[in-house]
Structure 1
Amino acid sequence: MKFVLAPDSFKESMSASVAVEAMRRGIHAVRPDAECVGVPMADGGEGTVDAVVDALDGQRITVELQDPLGRPTEATFGYVAHRKLAVIEIAAAAGLELVAPNERDVLRASSSGVGQLIANALDRGATEFLIGLGGSATNDAGVGMLVALGAKFLDASGRPVAPGGAGLKDLDRIVLDGLDPRLCDVHIRVACDVNAPLLGPTGASAVFGPQKGATAADVELLDAALSRLVSVTEATLGHARHDTPGAGAAGGLGFAFFEFLGAESKPGVEVVAETVGLERAVRGADWVFTGEGGVDAQTMLGKTPFGVAQLASRQGAHVVIFGGRVAPDATVLLDHGVDRLVAITPDGTPIDEALRRGPQALEQAAAEFVRELIGTAT
Structure 2
Amino acid sequence: MKVVLAIDSFKGCASSQELSAWIEEGICAVYQEATVSACYIADGGEGMLEAIMQNVKGQIVTCNVHDPLMKRISAQYGILEDGVTAVIEMAQAAGLPLVPYEKRNPLFTTTFGVGELVKDAIEKGYRKFIVGIGGSATNDAGLGMMQALGYKFLDEEGTELGYGGEILEKINTIDESHVLPMLKACEFVVACDVDNVMYGSHGSAQIYAGQKGADSAMIERLDAGMIHFTQRLKEVFGKDVALNAGSGAAGGMGGGMQAFLDATLRLGIEIILDQIGFDAHLTDTTLVITGEGRIDRQSLMGKVLSGVSNRCQKAGVPLIALGGGIADELEDHEGVDALFSIMRYPMSLEEAMEKPRAEKLVKQSVKEIFRLMKTFNTA
Matches of 1:10 and 1:165, distance apart in 2: 30
Partner of 2:12: 12
Partner of 1:338: 336
- Residues 226-257 of structure 1 deviation map (CA, whole Å, 9 limit, x = unaligned): 33322332233221321111212212111111
Partner of 2:53: 53
Partner of 2:153: 153
Question: What secondary structure is seen at the aligned counterpart in 1 of 2:199?
Answer: coil
Asked if 1:114 corresponds to 2:127, the answer is no
Matches of 2:299 and 2:177, distance apart in 1: 44
Partner of 2:137: 137
Deviates more, 1:14-23 or 1:257-266: 14-23
Tell me which amino acid in the other structure corresponds to 1:141.
Answer: A
Provide closer, same or farther for how the CA distance between residues 120 and 363 of structure 1 changes in structure 2, counting only shifts above 3 A: farther
Provide closer, same or farther for how the CA distance between residues 368 and 213 of structure 1 changes in structure 2, counting only shifts above 3 A: closer
Matches of 2:68 and 2:102, distance apart in 1: 14
- Residues 168-199 of structure 1 deviation map (CA, whole Å, 9 limit, x = unaligned): 43323223243223333333222222222213
Q: Is the 1:138–1:165 contact (alpha carbons within 8 Å) kept by the matching residues of 2?
A: yes
Matches of 1:137 and 1:341, distance apart in 2: 32
Tell me which amino acid in the other structure corresponds to 1:317.
Answer: V
Deviates more, 1:23-32 or 1:241-250: 23-32
Question: What secondary structure is seen at the aligned counterpart in 1 of 2:242?
Answer: coil
Q: How far did residue 314 of structure 1 move?
A: 1.9
Q: Is the 1:161–1:168 contact (alpha carbons within 8 Å) kept by the matching residues of 2?
A: no
Matches of 1:28 and 1:211, distance apart in 2: 41
Q: How far did residue 83 of structure 1 move?
A: 5.1
Question: What secondary structure is seen at the aligned counterpart in 2 of 1:311?
Answer: helix
Partner of 2:276: 276
Tell me which amino acid in the other structure corresponds to 1:237.
Answer: F
- Residues 183-217 of structure 1 deviation map (CA, whole Å, 9 limit, x = unaligned): 33333222222222213333223333344344444
Taking the TM superposition and a 5 Å limit, the aligned residue runs for 1:1-378 are 1-82=1-82, 84-333=84-333, 336-348=334-346, 351=351, 355-378=355-378
Q: How far did residue 156 of structure 1 move?
A: 4.2
Tell me which amino acid in the other structure corresponds to 2:26.
Answer: G
Matches of 1:29 and 1:217, distance apart in 2: 55
- Residues 244-271 of structure 1 deviation map (CA, whole Å, 9 limit, x = unaligned): 1121221211111111112111222222
- Residues 42-73 of structure 1 deviation map (CA, whole Å, 9 limit, x = unaligned): 11122222211211144444432212222222
Question: What secondary structure is seen at the aligned counterpart in 2 of 1:161?
Answer: coil
Matches of 1:288 and 1:114, distance apart in 2: 35
Q: Is the 1:162–1:168 contact (alpha carbons within 8 Å) kept by the matching residues of 2?
A: no
Q: Is the 2:12–2:353 contact (alpha carbons within 8 Å) kept by the matching residues of 1?
A: no
CA RMSD of aligned residues (A): 2.7
Q: Is the 1:12–1:355 contact (alpha carbons within 8 Å) kept by the matching residues of 2?
A: no
Provide closer, same or farther for how the CA distance between residues 163 and 298 of structure 1 changes in structure 2, counting only shifts above 3 A: closer
Matches of 1:216 and 1:327, distance apart in 2: 29
Matches of 2:299 and 2:234, distance apart in 1: 38
Tell me which amino acid in the other structure corresponds to 1:75.
Answer: A
Q: Is the 1:324–1:354 contact (alpha carbons within 8 Å) kept by the matching residues of 2?
A: no
Provide closer, same or farther for how the CA distance between residues 181 and 374 of structure 1 changes in structure 2, counting only shifts above 3 A: farther
Tell me which amino acid in the other structure corresponds to 2:338.
Answer: R
Matches of 2:279 and 2:75, distance apart in 1: 31
Provide closer, same or farther for how the CA distance between residues 180 and 295 of structure 1 changes in structure 2, counting only shifts above 3 A: same
Q: How far did residue 348 of structure 1 move?
A: 3.0
Q: Is the 1:6–1:289 contact (alpha carbons within 8 Å) kept by the matching residues of 2?
A: yes
Q: How far did residue 16 of structure 1 move?
A: 1.0
Matches of 2:206 and 2:12, distance apart in 1: 31
Question: What secondary structure is seen at the aligned counterpart in 1 of 2:36?
Answer: strand
Question: What secondary structure is seen at the aligned counterpart in 1 of 2:51?
Answer: helix
Matches of 1:293 and 1:105, distance apart in 2: 27
- Residues 97-150 of structure 1 deviation map (CA, whole Å, 9 limit, x = unaligned): 322333233323221111012122334443332222233232221111001011
Q: Is the 1:297–1:332 contact (alpha carbons within 8 Å) kept by the matching residues of 2?
A: no
Q: How far did residue 287 of structure 1 move?
A: 0.9
Provide closer, same or farther for how the CA distance between residues 106 and 278 of structure 1 changes in structure 2, counting only shifts above 3 A: same
Q: How far did residue 7 of structure 1 move?
A: 0.9
Matches of 2:12 and 2:205, distance apart in 1: 30
Q: Is the 2:295–2:327 contact (alpha carbons within 8 Å) kept by the matching residues of 1?
A: yes
Matches of 2:287 and 2:330, distance apart in 1: 20
Matches of 2:191 and 2:344, distance apart in 1: 34
Alignment: residue pair count: 376
Matches of 2:152 and 2:18, distance apart in 1: 44
Structure-2-length-normalised TM-score: 0.87
Matches of 1:254 and 1:208, distance apart in 2: 14
Deviates more, 1:23-32 or 1:149-158: 23-32
In percent, how many aligned pairs have the same letter? 35
Matches of 2:30 and 2:127, distance apart in 1: 43
Deviates more, 1:148-157 or 1:122-131: 122-131
Question: What secondary structure is seen at the aligned counterpart in 2 of 1:6?
Answer: strand
Matches of 2:347 and 2:109, distance apart in 1: 41
Q: Is the 1:17–1:54 contact (alpha carbons within 8 Å) kept by the matching residues of 2?
A: no
Question: What secondary structure is seen at the aligned counterpart in 2 of 1:150?
Answer: coil
Structure 1: gaps (5+ residues): none
